[in-house]
Amino acid sequence: MAALTIDDICCSYNGKAVLDGLSLRVESNEIMCLLGASGCGKTTLLKAVAGLLPVSGGDICINSRKVNGNGAAVVPEERNIGMIFQDYALFPHLNVAQNVAFGLQSKESNKAVIRTRVDEVLELVNLAGLGERYPHQLSGGQQQRVAIARALICRPQLMLLDEPFSNIDTQVRMRLISEIRSLLKEQGISAIFVTHSKEEAFAFADKLALFRQGHIEQVGRPQTLYQHPQTPFVADFLGQSNYVPATVHDSHSLQTPLGRIASLAAISAEPGSEGRLLLRPRQLLLSEAEQGNGRVLEQQFLGAHTRCLVECQGLTLEVSINEPLPAVANVQVTVAPHALTFFPDEAERRREVA
């Protein structure tokens, strides 16, 4: 069942369209990440879902209930949504327990029930025992946990998170991401999460929706978008891309300056079609070879891997290898067996016209 369906919505500021006919579906207990460049409309979409911004067209349904439109408009506090922001938005004059209790107080008058629920959610976010502290006495990561506890206390069905990890230092960030992800999964909460960071998106989301100027370019599992992008825009946004000119030889191979390359899956273009083969730095392999087809131009040791620039058949390719090569100039460049991603020139021309 869908936790949220957004169907053909339009939003504008001062008559200028920011979202124009955008559709998206978030399944129950699914974490959807909105990823995209600054200003492409991610926060606008969150605000529209939360009911903080009017929608000029289209439908938004939360758990099959329409929440916008004449006669159907549901106010933000009745949408059963939890919101978490980049700057935590805690009340500085309230302690942790009071901050967390805040949203529940308008719905529940029994103080003992509120206290028990505050303790429960503080336990969930690993802050048990810190209820008496004030926000300024907590680290950034702890403050964000308080914000999460405050959002959880009303048992939301849907959580909206707007760049929640960007103020958290790198050491703590991946741990917090993994904890919050497990928490949302355990509690059966669906979520939409906005970020600029592809690493956060990969680590936190079940699905990515990659935005491009108010529309969604591609939506799917992070690995699918990374390994099988439908457009060069998606490929380039999600990681380093090498492009090699190629012609389709048959349904399972391409002819390229690196030779004929076999694909582990069928290529969806006619034999003879010209275009570009996408190769990620990890999809190229290097071996030392005096008579090899490539020449190392530059190496950068980056800890977990080494970035290597190689000149091969007139192309400059970026290859990711584990350890730096010894000082050899010549290498053999080959392509690791995989399902090739091929962008036909014709499809790109059609996209440009559209």
Among 31, 33, 40, 261, binds ligand ATP (CB under 6 A): 40
CB 41 within 8 A of CB 20: no
Smallest separation, CB 23 to ligand ATP (Å): 17
39 binds ligand ATP (CB under 6 A): yes
15 binds ligand ATP (CB under 6 A): no
Q: What is the DSSP letter of 259?
A: E
Strand positions, DSSP E, the chain: 2-13, 16-27, 31-35, 57-62, 65-66, 81-85, 158-162, 190-195, 207-212, 215-220, 242-250, 253-256, 259-262, 274-279, 284-288, 294-301, 306-312, 315-321, 330-335, 341-344
**Three-state secondary-structure class, residue 251:** coil
Per-residue interface string for the shown chain with ligand ATP, residues 16-35, x marking contact by CB under 6 A: --x-----------------
Smallest separation, CB 40 to ligand ATP (Å): 4
CB 159 within 8 A of CB 84: yes
CB 12 within 8 A of CB 43: no
Which one of 36-44, 96-104, 235-243, 295-303 is the stretch in contact with ligand ATP (CB under 6 A)? 36-44
Query: Residue 68 or residue 99: which is nearer to ligand ATP going by CB?
Result: 68
Among 41, 51, 82, 275, binds ligand ATP (CB under 6 A): 41
38 binds ligand ATP (CB under 6 A): yes
Smallest separation, CB 77 to ligand ATP (Å): 21
Q: Which two tokens stand for residue 201?
A: 């998106």
CA–CA distance, 249 with 271 (Å, rounded to integer): 5
164 binds ligand ATP (CB under 6 A): no
Among 4, 33, 44, 147, binds ligand ATP (CB under 6 A): 44
Total residues at interface with ligand ATP (CB under 6 A): 12
Among 6, 30, 33, 42, binds ligand ATP (CB under 6 A): 42
CB 113 within 8 A of CB 121: no
Positions touching ligand ATP (CB under 6 A) are 13-14, 18, 36, 38-44, 196
